[in-house]
Amino acid sequence: MGIGKKLLLSGVKPTGRPHIGNYFGAMKQFVALQSEYDSIFFIADYHALTTLHDPVKLAEYTLGVALDYLAIGLDPKRALIFKQSDIPAHTELAWIFNCITAMPYLLRGHAYKDAEAKNEEVTVGTFDYPMLMAADILLYDTDVVPVGQDQKQHLEFARDTAEKFNRLFGETFKLPEPHIVSEVAAVPGLDGRKMSKSYDNTIPLFADDDEIERLVMSIVTDSKGEREPKDPAADTVFALHRLVSAGQLDELKKRYEEGTIGYKESKEILAENMKKFAAPLREKRRELEEKPEYAKDALAQGAEVARKKSEEKMKEVRRKVGVAL
Ligand code: TYM
């Protein structure tokens, strides 16, 4: 890892196929920033376990995220890539954070409140999710965390936890900064709400052409007719054009405002551009799927380096809290 470079870290939870919200909101930034920073990209499999209790699927999605990382262009020679469960220090540090964090403070968590509001059976793991995430980040003295808007509160929890620990036991953890790109901070899904696996409104990043076409044509719009002027800022199809139709945006905007394009045509253009964008990524992923050992080896090698780094930090932490004799 480079000398004097700042440290960047982020993760993806293997709960299904990644979608274009994950890609444009976060993963694309991983690729762009991996050389500028010392970078760590991990797979948050213990976070996935808070809601996913199917061992076959968890294993499949976890290897899936590794393949996704490599397919989009993360380079294990430049960035450290591993899965969270291979590094015991993440859960150990999360426990220590549990012991200095007040229950009422965590009751404010959006993810916990959402799960409660949906009358779901909320696991202790879901409630405690922010502490494991704080551990993921703080363990490596992270400076910058590229994420979408929905993770902002988790970053605040991590900063607060670092401050609390430092106050109790002396200066130990750096305060990380979120890196959120405002234009893509909350990519909308097919129904106009934030794109999310839990809303079942996603366009998977590695969807095939038929699936892309079917999903794009199902995007919910208002009922304005073909010849009526439309507000691009209020339309989900246009919001997705911003991601993949760069060269045509001005023209599309003009046609929306003049009322010379219908939603059907706009969707057809979007589907074409989405297919062009997805094809090379899908091709690369297919090659990687044929030799999964490459991804597995990359994870194993990444884990070895991460274990050493994390163990150094944990020695300091154990000493500071008083469990090292
Ligand atoms: P996850 O797996 O839900 O999402 C991965 C990344 O995608 C971003 N994202 C979005 N961005 C824009 N628009 C959307 N519609 C959209 N949906 C998702 C997320 O903000 C995220 O950056 N808790 C994390 C995983 C995690 C983590 C960490 C991240 C665990 N530990 C430490 C950073 C640092 C999560 O569930 O992301």
User: In angstroms, rounded to a whole number, what is the distance separating the alpha carbons of residues 267 and 70?
Assistant: 30
My answer on whether 13 and 80 are in the same domain is yes
**Per-residue pLDDT tens for 155-214?**
999 999 999 999 999 999 999 999 999 999 999 999 999 999 989 999 999 999 999 999
Q: Ligand 1 pocket: which of 150, 205, 243 to mutate (most atoms <8 Å of CB)?
A: 150
pLDDT under 70: residue ranges of the chain: 1-3
> Closest ligand 1 atom to the C-alpha of 44?
30
Question: Quick one: tokens of 81?
Answer: 């890539």
Query: What is the pLDDT, as a whole number, of residue 1?
Result: 55
Domain with 177 in it: 7-186+292-321
197 domain residue, yes or no: no
My answer on whether 156 and 247 are in the same domain is no
My answer on whether 159 and 16 are in the same domain is yes
CATH code (residue 234):
1.10.240.10
My answer on whether 140 and 237 are in the same domain is no
Buried b (16+ CB within 10 A) or exposed e, 93-115: bbebbeeebeeeebeebebbeeb
126 domain residue, yes or no: yes
**Separation of 251 CA from ligand 1 center, angstroms?**
32
**Separation of 133 CA from ligand 1 center, angstroms?**
11
Whether the CB of 21 sits within 6 Å of ligand 1: yes
Query: What is the pLDDT, as a whole number, of residue 118?
Result: 86
My answer on whether 35 and 166 are in the same domain is yes
Q: Ligand 1 pocket: which of 62, 147, 236 to mutate (most atoms <8 Å of CB)?
A: 147
Query: What is the pLDDT, as a whole number, of residue 3?
Result: 64
Q: Quick check: pTM over 0.85? A: yes
My answer on whether 15 and 134 are in the same domain is yes
Query: What is the pLDDT, as a whole number, of residue 115?
Result: 87
Hey, which residues does 179 pair with through a beta bridge?
A: 146
Count of domains for the chain = 2
Query: What is the pLDDT, as a whole number, of residue 120?
Result: 79
**Separation of 13 CA from ligand 1 center, angstroms?**
7
Q: Ligand 1 pocket: which of 12, 69, 139, 191 to mutate (most atoms <8 Å of CB)?
A: 12
**Separation of 10 CA from ligand 1 center, angstroms?**
8
CATH code (residue 176):
3.40.50.620
